[in-house]
Structure 1
Amino acid sequence: MSLQLSASMLRELTYSTTRFAAYEELKSYFTTSSSPPGLPALIAMGCISGFLGGLAGNPADVLNIRMLSDAALPPERRRNYRHAFHGLAHVVRNEGVGSLYRGFWPNSARAVLITASQLASYDTFKRLCIDKAGMSDNLTTHFSASLMAGFVATTVCSPVDVLKTRVMSASTSESGVTGLLREICRKEGITWVFRGWVPSFTRLGPHTIATFLLLEEHKKIYRMLKGI
């Protein structure tokens, strides 16, 4: 578990850092005191940032999945990476750099969805709390906005997560994603998109809240040090 943790930490250092940094840079570039970016612009920034985060974090995600599944493999098939950087070197040396980007498109698609839904909705809800509800830019506002952002992110990502799970668990005889999607809709109706929503929110909601509370504190310290 401690070995797999190194891959998880590397993923967060690459994926999360890149998507948040890119989003803040884009927002700073396109924001003026008289004209803050609207929701469509924030969503576009979130999509770009999510794609860049998926690009940066995919190698660590590949290692994370491999190290997590290693224990379930027979001893002769285990990769036995000592840590994340040993795994990176091993993959590049034996399989080529391209292997670090296996599953890039589905991973980046989810990164785009979750980044756009989390960050754009958080900024929108925060602005509504301050401008419309008369709240101050404080911990209560950050908590309220991040809670609502977690709700939006879970709802937006729920169909993708459900479909991904169904595809991974489907037998090879079933006909592709389109055929599987058609079959699910026929049997379960539109409600399939919200299967597992509650456990997803239980996981993503607190994560979103903690992320934005820490981010706001980080920005506060950064502004203080920079004299902004």
Structure 2
Amino acid sequence: MADTEISFAQAFMCSAFAACLAEFCTIPLDTAKVRLQLQKKAAVTEGVSLPKYRGLLDTIQTIAREEGISALWKGIIPGLHRQCIYGGLRIGLYDPVKTFLVGSAFVGEISLYQMILAALLTGALAIIVASPTDLVKVRLQSEGQLPAGVPKRYSGAMDAYITIMRQEGIGALWTGLGPNITRNAVINAAELASYDQMKRTLLKIPGFMDNVFTHLVAGLGAGLFAVFIGSPVDVVKSRMMGDSTYKNTLDCFLKTLFNEGFLAFYKGFLPNFCRVGAWNMVMFLTLEQAKRFFRG
């Protein structure tokens, strides 16, 4: 994805637009993923555990039936805020940081470890700026978890920002920042570096060209790798942001591990893969086309 022909401002606009479009198209899958991740072991009735949500499609159907179809897009406003800032920075800075690491005079293929390092740095930097938008999105998506009769905590995205600052302090907007930095730096590295590497590898195979099909295949592969690597941290991040009962990241990790077992860290794996795989396919395809537009 080396793009020295376009400026950082153009790269930022391309990245922000691609990330926002992907977010809008796939947020119902993200809402289902968050609900599954926040769902703890259900109370046992006559020896049978009865979780409210059972899989991707059941979660989507249950949310739509009980809360309306629009509930699947809960958190879309802070989600777009997040992608405009986070997506624009982490993707827009990726090529400049790669160039900085290897030097502007470098000629040849950038190594995989340098691509990973560049993506780790841009992912960490971007989420430090955008973490409050992530928190508000998760809080809004988790509203449906409240017991029947309990009033909603927030009327919308702006109300959520204001309420959190008033009731919990401005620092609360960065709740879960530790696992969020880890999660987003790791996933950013998995997505961007693996996309670069997969695209590079595919283009060496006879029959593959720098076209839509190659972008879709590389994007799907990047999504799969990112979910496999990032799921445990993603679960801890979602629980830290959606449930204030945890003291810190380690407390959340240990309670989840001892109370629910290691597989709890892969709760929502299928909806997470569907979401991240689809997100990457839409984002990288849009990104490549947007960059071609600016190149003329």
Report if TM-score (shorter chain) is over 0.5.
yes
Counterpart-to-counterpart distance in 2, 1:49 and 1:143: 23
The equivalent residue for 2:155 is 80
One-letter amino acid matched to 1:13: C
Distance in 2, Cα, partners of 1:164 & 1:92:
20
Q: What TM-score, normalized to structure 1?
A: 0.76
Task: For 1:138, give the aligned amino acid.
Answer: N
Corresponding position of 2:197: 124
Q: Is the 8 A contact 2:89 2:126 kept in 1?
A: yes
Tell me the SS of whatever aligns to 1:131. coil
Tell me, yes or no, if structure 1 residue 36 matches structure 2 residue 109.
yes
Partner amino acid for 1:145?
A
1:6-155 paired onto structure 2 within 5 Å: 6-29=77-100, 30=102, 34-70=107-143, 72=146, 74-75=150-151, 78-81=153-156, 83-84=157-158, 86-89=159-162, 91-92=164-165, 95-133=168-206, 135-155=208-228
Deviation at 1:202? 1.7
Q: CA deviation at 1:93?
A: 5.8
* Separation (CA, whole Å) in 2 of partners of 1:161 and 1:96: 24
- 1:222 corresponds to which letter in structure 2? F
- What is the percent sequence identity of the aligned residues? 29
Query: 1:42/1:6 Cα in 2 relative to 1: closer, same or farther (>3 Å)?
Result: same
TM-score using structure 2 length:
0.60
> Could you tell me how far 1:137 is from its partner in structure 2?
1.5
The change in CA–CA distance for 1:221 and 1:104 in structure 2 (over 3 A counts) is same
The equivalent of 1:220 in structure 2 is 292
**Letter of the 2:84 counterpart:** L
**Counterpart mapping for 1:120-199 below 5 A:** 120-133=193-206, 135-161=208-234, 176=251, 177-178=253-254, 181=257, 196-199=268-271
Question: Any gaps of 5 or more consecutive residues in structure 1?
Answer: none
Could you say if the C-alpha distance between residues 8 and 164 of structure 1 is closer, same or farther in structure 2, counting changes exceeding 3 Å?
Answer: closer
Asked whether the 8 Å contact 2:195–2:219 carries over to 1, the reply is: yes
Q: Which runs of 5+ in 2 are unaligned?
A: 1-70
Q: Please say if residues 146 and 208 of structure 1, whose CA atoms lie closer than 8 Å, have aligned partners that are also in contact.
A: yes
Distance change >3 Å, CA 87–CA 183, structure 1 → 2: closer
- Cα distance in 2 between the residues matched to 1:194 and 1:4: 22
Deviation digits for residues 182-202 of structure 1 (CA, Å, limit 9, x no counterpart) = 787xx77xx776665433222
Give the count of matched residue pairs: 214
For 2:271 and 2:199, how far apart are their aligned partners in 1?
A: 25
After superposition, the Cα gap between the structure-2 partners of 1:193 and 1:91, relative to the gap in structure 1 and judged at 3 Å, is closer
In structure 2, relative to structure 1, the CA distance for the partners of 1:7 and 1:109 (3 Å cut) is same
Higher relative contact order (CA 8 A, sep 6+): 2
